[in-house]
Structure 1
Amino acid sequence: MTTATGALAGSLAVVALTAGTAGAHVTVTPDTTSAGAYAVLTFSVGHGCEGSPTTKLAIQMPESIPVVTPTINPNWTVEKVDEQLAEPVTDAHGNEITERTAQVVYTAKTPLADGFRDTVALSVQLPDAAGDTLAFPVVQTCEQGRTGWTETAAEGQDPEELASPAPVLTITEATGDGGHGGSSSDADTDADTDATDESGAADDADATSDDDGGNGLAIGGLVAGLGGLALGGLALARSGKKA
């Protein structure tokens, strides 16, 4: 990690250097928007700066997300730029945090040619603030020029009117699963299913045992009946000889 100095301020200043019109935007796609959940945010870039290959993506993080875990992409190197917090905060696990990741910078090992798409991803915990919209300004640097995807819509403004909109997401109501995988209701359902399976297996075993017992009794009765007939026949034969 490195400490933020003039790098962060320099990147923010690029807002005024936004290149002209571009055919597509840098976008963010979260795997969940549930309040308080752990989410993977996937940022996509599909064009250069007016035809020039992309060499770097600098993603600004909102202050409400102090901890960021970047995903390794073999086509890029990645660096986290940290800054000291004015006041320490406590994370969901009770750990005290004294600094936050203000920016994540991906640098292309080989410039990404215009017209080709790639993605980078960040793992974060979303703030517990349903209804809030988070912006992630991105500065795209190219071999020639750079574009600041940093504009956010003012209240009542149509985002489609922005020339270089920042990637944004809106937090939704919490689902209760914390974003760590299957929900507790799914787990309960699985547990109930397992219990039912085990109960069913036990019932099958009991039924099999009862069937075996019934078959045994039937066979025993048949053997006893045959034995009785044999003895009866022997007695009848003896009585005939005496007569």
Structure 2
Amino acid sequence: MRTRRWIRAAAVATGVVAYLAWGAAPAAAHVEVAEAKPNGDGTTTLTFAFDHSCDDSPTTELVVALPEGVTATGTVEPEGWSAALSGDRVTFTGPGRETAEVGVTTRIVAQAGDTLHFPVLQRCADGNSLDWIDRTADSDYPAPRLIATNAVLETPPEASVGPPAAAGGGTPSEGGGATLGQAVTVVVVFVVLAAGVGLLVARRPA
């Protein structure tokens, strides 16, 4: 009797584990930002990867939506695929694939530490699709995300070069007025000193 109860309990436990594993499958398989590679010119190439499709139907299209502050300047497609840019969306299409990586070269204007979400629509050959659009990381269909760092942000423009400062930190006035004023001051001081010396000599007794 005890043996039968143990077998029944084991069967129930096995069924629960299998159910939980099946229910967790969608969250484990998703589209993600696999790499963010700075190119040294203010752009960053984002690589989006998927390792699954719609059940047994291969993926034929991937539509990536760019968040505010992110603009696309180019794409990197798998062999045989093509890409099209339209506003804030990048569409990759091609022969069905179970796994693939696609790239979007971007300019990112944001603050370091910002979380950027990239909603993705994944379409498959049988007409089904998966919407990876949820903004919470622990959802079944989370949108690919990127935490911005200084390395991936667009290079800020160089500071503009203003007119050269005069010696001593001043700004030269138009037509050299500051230099002329200094010369006049020197002449006045010289005249005052000369007059003082002459007065002393005249008062000396013969």
TM bucket, shorter chain: 0.5 to 0.7
Q: TM-score, normalised by structure 1?
A: 0.48
- Alignment of 1:166 onto 2:143: yes
Match of 2:68 among 63, 67, 87: 63
Distance 1:60 1:138 in 2: 6
> Unaligned regions of 5+ residues in structure 1, if any?
1-19, 83-101, 154-158, 179-243
Distance 2:153 2:63 in 1: 32
Distance 1:177 1:64 in 2: 10
Q: Which runs of 4+ in 1 moved over 6 A?
A: none
Q: Give the drift of 1:104.
A: 0.5
Kept in 2, the 8 Å contact 1:54–1:140? The answer is yes
Match of 2:106 among 107, 124, 146: 124
Kept in 2, the 8 Å contact 1:55–1:142? The answer is yes
Give the % identical residues.
Answer: 29
Kept in 2, the 8 Å contact 1:30–1:39? The answer is no
Match of 1:46 among 44, 51, 56: 51
Counterpart in the other structure of 1:106:
92
Kept in 1, the 8 Å contact 2:82–2:93? The answer is yes
The answer to which of 49-58 and 64-73 deviates more is: 64-73
Q: Secondary structure at the match of 1:50?
A: coil
Q: 1:128 to 1:174 in 2, by over 3 A?
A: farther
RMSD value over aligned CA atoms? 2.8
Q: 1:173 to 1:147 in 2, by over 3 A?
A: same
Corresponding residue pairs, total: 129
Q: Give the drift of 1:72.
A: 3.6
Q: Secondary structure at the match of 1:51?
A: coil
Distance 2:125 2:152 in 1: 44
Higher relative contact order (CA 8 A, sep 6+): 1
Counterpart in the other structure of 1:150:
133
Distance 1:25 1:121 in 2: 16
Q: TM-score, normalised by structure 2?
A: 0.55
Distance 1:123 1:111 in 2: 23
Q: Secondary structure at the match of 1:66?
A: strand
Distance 2:153 2:113 in 1: 16
Distance 1:67 1:170 in 2: 18
Kept in 2, the 8 Å contact 1:37–1:174? The answer is no
Kept in 2, the 8 Å contact 1:26–1:166? The answer is yes
> Unaligned regions of 5+ residues in structure 2, if any?
1-23, 156-206
Distance 1:149 1:176 in 2: 24
Q: Give the drift of 1:175.
A: 8.7
Q: 1:150 to 1:175 in 2, by over 3 A?
A: closer
Q: Secondary structure at the match of 1:56?
A: strand
Counterpart in the other structure of 1:223:
none
Q: 1:79 to 1:177 in 2, by over 3 A?
A: closer
Q: Secondary structure at the match of 2:64?
A: strand
Q: Which structure 2 residues correspond to residues 136-215 of structure 1 after superposition, within 5 A?
A: 136-144=118-126, 145-153=128-136, 159-160=137-138, 162-174=139-151, 178=155
Q: Secondary structure at the match of 1:164?
A: coil
Kept in 1, the 8 Å contact 2:74–2:106? The answer is yes
Deviations 1:69-99 (A, max 9, x none): 11243221111112xxxxxxxxxxxxxxxxx
